[in-house]
């Protein structure tokens, strides 16, 4: 099993390095729908966040630690500079990395992310945390699609979601998810983002129908980050790379190739 700095990782394709960092759940498997397209042009590296999946299960709640681990992974693999594609808190880890060690970030894509928690998202996180604490991972996983996917997509893929839920519940990192939610509730780097160098290209990709993170959060990031590109997808929900992989990949690859 490939491991570097305590992190399970996989490599696919060839070309300029592109590191994929998942959101709250932290599993590299989140990116499976996009691997084939991204690996045609890039050396794609996906990994499980520390505390989840096949990586070291030490709980690391600080969202900045995601950026620290990306840097450690790059060091272990001998990668001096890479493009980073992060979903939600995975993107926030990428922002932290771009602030702390900008020379290591070639380009950065943040998907449905934020720099300061929106009150609406806070209510969602409070509800998810209460559900996890009261009923455990089973009910948490059952409710998760409501926050991730558009209603029609959930209806059309109900059987698929039921099957995937079995795998998500097995080995669910309860302690890590709870700690990450608590950290996300307090995380705020919006006022620091103007320090990201102008030479670091940033794409902020947001879904208009995101039921967890309102698209205005990406708009606020765009106002705070010098020369950032702000691109909106009209449909796809929070996990737009899963629901509309073709549209998602086209936008990301266009940016990475520019």
CATH number at residue 235: 3.40.50.1820
Q: What does the alpha-carbon distance between residue 177 and residue 92 come to, in Å, rounded to a whole number?
A: 16
Average pLDDT of span 144-169: 95
Q: What does the alpha-carbon distance between residue 217 and residue 213 come to, in Å, rounded to a whole number?
A: 7
Q: What does the alpha-carbon distance between residue 216 and residue 123 come to, in Å, rounded to a whole number?
A: 16
Find the length of the chain.
258
DSSP letter (8 states) at residue 7: E
Kind and range of the H or E element at 165?
A: helix 158-169
Taking residue 234's Cβ as centre, other Cβ atoms within 10 Å add up to 10
Gyration radius of the chain's alpha carbons: 17
Taking residue 196's Cβ as centre, other Cβ atoms within 10 Å add up to 20
pLDDT, residue 226, reads 84
Contact 184, 125 (CB under 8 A): yes
Closest CA to 143 of 177, 176, 114, 109: 177
Q: What does the alpha-carbon distance between residue 46 and residue 33 come to, in Å, rounded to a whole number?
A: 12
pLDDT at 258 over 80: no
3-state secondary structure of 200: coil
Range of the domain at 33: 3-257
Average pLDDT of span 147-151: 97
Average pLDDT of span 114-128: 96
> 116 falls in which pLDDT band (50, 70, 90)?
very high
pLDDT, residue 74, reads 98
| Structural domain total, the chain | 1
> 70 falls in which pLDDT band (50, 70, 90)?
very high
Q: What is the pTM of this model?
A: 0.96
pLDDT, residue 171, reads 83
pLDDT at 174 over 80: yes
pLDDT at 81 over 90: yes
pLDDT at 61 over 80: no
Average pLDDT of span 23-40: 96
Contact 98, 198 (CB under 8 A): no
Average pLDDT of span 51-60: 88
pLDDT, residue 60, reads 79
pLDDT at 1 over 90: no
Biggest alpha carbon–alpha carbon distance for the chain: 47
Unique residue bearing structure tokens 């996906």:
46
3-state secondary structure of 226: coil
As a three-state string, the secondary structure of 96-146 is: HHHHHCHHHEEEEEEECCCCECCHHHHHHHHHHHHHHHHHCHHHHHHHHHH
Distance of CA 65 to the CA centre of its chain: 14
């Amino acid at each position: 099993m490939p491991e570097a700095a305590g992190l399970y990782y996989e490599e696919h394709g060839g070309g300029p390095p592109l590191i994929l960092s998942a959101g709250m759940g932290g599993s590299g498997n989140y990116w499976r729908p996009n691997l084939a397209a991204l690996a045609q042009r890039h050396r794609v590296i996906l990994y499980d966040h520390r505390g989840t999946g096949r990586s070291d299960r030490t709980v690391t709640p600080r969202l900045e630690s995601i950026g620290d681990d990306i840097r450690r992974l790059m060091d272990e693999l001998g990668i001096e500079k890479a493009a980073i594609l992060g979903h939600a808190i995975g993107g926030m880890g990428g922002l932290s990395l771009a602030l702390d060690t900008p020379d290591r970030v070639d380009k950065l894509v943040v998907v449905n992310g934020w720099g300061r928690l929106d009150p609406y998202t806070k209510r969602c996180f409070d509800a998810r945390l209460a559900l996890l604490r009261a009923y455990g991972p089973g009910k948490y996983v059952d409710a998760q699609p409501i926050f991730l996917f558009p209603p029609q997509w959930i209806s059309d893929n109900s059987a698929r979601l039921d099957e995937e839920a079995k795998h998500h519940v097995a080995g669910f990192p309860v302690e890590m998810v709870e700690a990450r939610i608590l950290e996300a509730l307090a995380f705020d780097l919006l006022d620091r983002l103007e320090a990201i160098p102008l030479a670091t290209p940033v794409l902020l990709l947001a879904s208009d129908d995101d039921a967890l993170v309102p698209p205005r959060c990406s708009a606020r990031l765009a106002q705070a980050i010098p020369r950032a590109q702000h691109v909106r997808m009209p449909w796809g929900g929070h996990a737009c790379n899963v629901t509309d992989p073709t549209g998602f990949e086209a936008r990301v690859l266009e940016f990475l190739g520019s």
